[in-house]
Amino acid sequence: MKKKIAIVGAGPCGISVLINLLKNLSNLDISIFDINQNFCKGNSFRVDSDSLLLNTTVDTTSVFYEDRLHFFKWLNSKKDIPKKYKLKSAFVPRNLASKYLFETLNEYLLKSSEKNNNVTIFDFFLFKYDAKHTFIDTSMNEYLFKYVILCTGHTSSSINMKCKLGELSNNDGYIENSFLNINGKIHKNDNVLIIGSNLSAIDTMLLLNESKHQGKICILSKSGSLPSVRSDMGGDYIPKYLGLEGFKNETISVNHLKRLFFKELLLLTTKEDVKSYFLISKDPKIQLETDILNCIYSKNKWQVLVFSMLEILTNYWFKFSTADRILIKNKYKKIIDRFISSMPLENALLLKDYLNNGRLEITKSSHENVYYSNSKKGFLIKNKNVVYNKIIDSSPINIENKDFSSLLNSMLEVGVVKTNINRLNSLDIDNKFFKCRNDFDANSNIDAPIVYAIGPTLRNNLIVSNFFLESSRQANIITNHISTSRIPIIITGVTS
């Protein structure tokens, strides 16, 4: 009997899962759901612009966790790709990553009949689940699945989530979800106020720059801090103390890991420099300049160490004590997130130019201090004079997906996922937590599917899922799990 699997969402995460399943398993009947325009692109890789670069280097971007250089080899097999993108340390346009996913998927789709697998692609969203364990799509078709993998990405799981900017969104000039598409919505001379200062805000900046926009830009956020800056120079460093292998057989404590981290860091740089890596200035302009200098002069091998730490955390998460895990989530999550959500040096230099020539301002404030003036026909920040014709909501949390919310809520109602789904994170995926139902235990309902939730789907406490290689790691775990779980045989009637 074929295992019936649904993948909800065909962004980088969903496609990674699909490819890993097709490569490694046989006798599968897989259905994958998403709107056509997001297929292999998802939300953040959807815009077809060469300005938007991956923030992970080529050697840390692969659909196969066990074959890190797969993307590198793919790039090098292509004649039409510029040489500068064929380096392990390169930051390549994100649209190349979606092309890579698309071609790799096709390669495995062509071979799928050899393994007796079949895949059906649906151009619909799944939006509802009912007590008969039936899934319903937006065209009211009904399905039954044994496994469901939620790869719904940057979406809110709260059905009632309102636009975070409240009243502001009711005015002309409000633009939602900027990094998806601002094409044609901004005039060359518009003054633009971007709300949020994370990666999607940087994307907005890059797209404005690409469109030869001339007006003033203000990035406004509560933290006022930009993503950190990554250089492409540190890729070749092989850690002495923080190699993954070294931790295989020991229990690990946070303090031990920290000691090794700093010991290794001091092999690479001086105590003085170390301080500057972790200091966060209150002035975003100074912070940006410090980050850029760190990138240029110390070659940022230390950033490779942050990624080594991450590998240890993700691979050996359950070797840490519960107290340590809580400590990591509460204390170190922010630092790790800052390094993961980083921008390539090239982008940082562009921002610096904008700041220096006065076209860009970064303001630490809340959108609550922004108001719309009918007389001036634009948005103003309290106590400031510039009138902004456009306001762009670049806070990713504002990406609302009602279909996913209603799907999740109906699954919660039936009890097929536990209420604490919001608290899952990608580290917990190594444990049984990610599985929302006990695996065919005696008391469980035999018809209910096993549900996995991966990627940045679930926001609270999310620690490191927000990058490509982490999706591949999770895809790998799920593949292994599905391969070892057996479909129970139900015997009905009485036999003697």
Ligand X SMILES: Cc1cc2nc3c(=O)[nH]c(=O)nc-3n(C[C@H](O)[C@H](O)[C@H](O)COP(=O)(O)OP(=O)(O)OC[C@H]3O[C@@H](n4cnc5c(N)ncnc54)[C@H](O)[C@@H]3O)c2cc1C
Binding-site ranges for ligand X (CB under 6 A): 8-14, 33-35, 38, 42-45, 54-56, 94, 125-127, 151-155, 179, 199-200, 203, 396, 401, 403-404, 407, 455-456, 466-468, 471
**Min separation Cβ 94 and ligand X, Å:** 6
| 15 vs 165 by CB, closer to ligand X | 15
- Of the candidates 6, 3, 2, 112, which has an alpha carbon nearest to the alpha carbon of residue 416? 6
CB of 284 to ligand X, least distance (A): 18
Comparison of 98 and 117: residue with beta carbon closer to ligand X: 98
Q: How far is the CB of 200 from ligand X (least distance, A)?
A: 4
Nearer to ligand X, 129 or 247 (CB): 129
- Minimum CB separation of residue 107 from ligand X in Å reads 19
Sign of CA dihedral 395, 188, 379, 171: negative
Nearer to ligand X, 186 or 464 (CB): 464
What distance in Å separates the CA atoms of residue 60 and residue 470, rounded to the nearest whole number? 10
CB nearer ligand X, residue 269 or residue 405 = 405
CA distances (Å), origin 237, targets 118, 314, 430: 42, 20, 27
* Residue whose CB is less far from ligand X, 10 or 220: 10
Q: Which is nearer to ligand X, 68 or 187 (CB)?
A: 68
Q: Report the nearest approach of ligand X to the CB of residue 316 (Å).
A: 22
- Please check whether residue 239 is in contact with residue 267, taking contact to mean a CB–CB distance below 8 angstroms: no
What is the nearest approach in angstroms of ligand X to the Cβ of residue 14? 5
Report the residue number, 261 or 467, with the smaller CB distance to ligand X.
467
Cα separation of 102 and 112, whole Å?
15
The residues, any chain, with a CB within 8 Å of residue 405's CB and separated by 6 or more, are: 155, 156, 157, 158, 159, 161
State in angstroms the smallest separation of the CB of 209 from ligand X: 15
Least distance to ligand X, CB of residue 464, Å: 11
**Minimal distance, residue 463 CB to ligand X, in Å:** 14
Closer by beta carbon to ligand X, 9 or else 173: 9
Instruction: Region of 12 please: left (phi>0), alpha (psi -120 to 50) or beta.
Output: alpha
Q: Is the CB of 64 or the CB of 125 nearer to ligand X? A: 125
- For ligand X, the closer of residues 308 and 457 by Cβ is 457
Residue 135 or residue 388: which is nearer to ligand X going by CB? 135
Tell me how far, at minimum, the Cβ of 46 lies from ligand X, in Å: 8
The least distance separating ligand X from the CB of residue 154, rounded to whole angstroms, comes to 4
CB of 474 to ligand X, least distance (A): 9
Identify which of residues 152 and 479 has a Cβ nearer to ligand X in the complex. 152
Q: Nearest-5° angle of CA 206, CA 208, CA 210?
A: 70
Tally of CB atoms within 10 A around 263: 12
Question: Does residue 276 contact residue 294 with C-beta atoms inside 8 Å?
Answer: yes
Q: Least distance to ligand X from the beta carbon of 304, Å?
A: 16
